[in-house]
Amino acid sequence: MKFIHRFAYYLVGLVMGVFFVSLVFSGKDTRCNYFPNARVLNDLRNKPFHYSEKASQILAESWIDTSDVKNTLQFGDVVFDKSNVVVKKGKLYVIEGKTLKNQEIILQVINYENRAVLDDIIKVKKE
């Protein structure tokens, strides 16, 4: 069989394969969260999110906003040395991030089975 015929068969199979794969994954909300940091942040974002009284008081201040919290839950780094501690029948996760004004913050989020609660927001002082 000539090279051109083999190449044509290859292209036909490739196109059909891409078509079927796109059909399978087109309507699904698929994510590839292989690393622990991405898994934890994805789990916290997908649960109903609540704020404790202390966190609500801090959010009332002018230096931080709920968009900063959402950005930290999207792009932050989980500190696993201080995280995964059982607190109030849930697991505490410490997440480092930044506000839109480039202020470093630390979020303490308690992850329950059916919800996530922002327990505290700590403003990191620059030295």
Q: What are phi and psi of 65, to 5 degrees?
A: -135, 165
What's the Cα-to-Cα distance from 5 to each of 2, 52, 53, 103, rounded to whole Å?
5, 67, 70, 61
pLDDT, position 11: 95
pLDDT tens, residue by residue, 86-121: 988 999 999 999 998 899 999 999 999 999 999 999
Neighbours of 127 (CB within 10 A): 3
Q: Is the pLDDT of residue 62 over 90?
A: no
What pLDDT band is residue 21 in, cutting at 50, 70 and 90?
A: confident
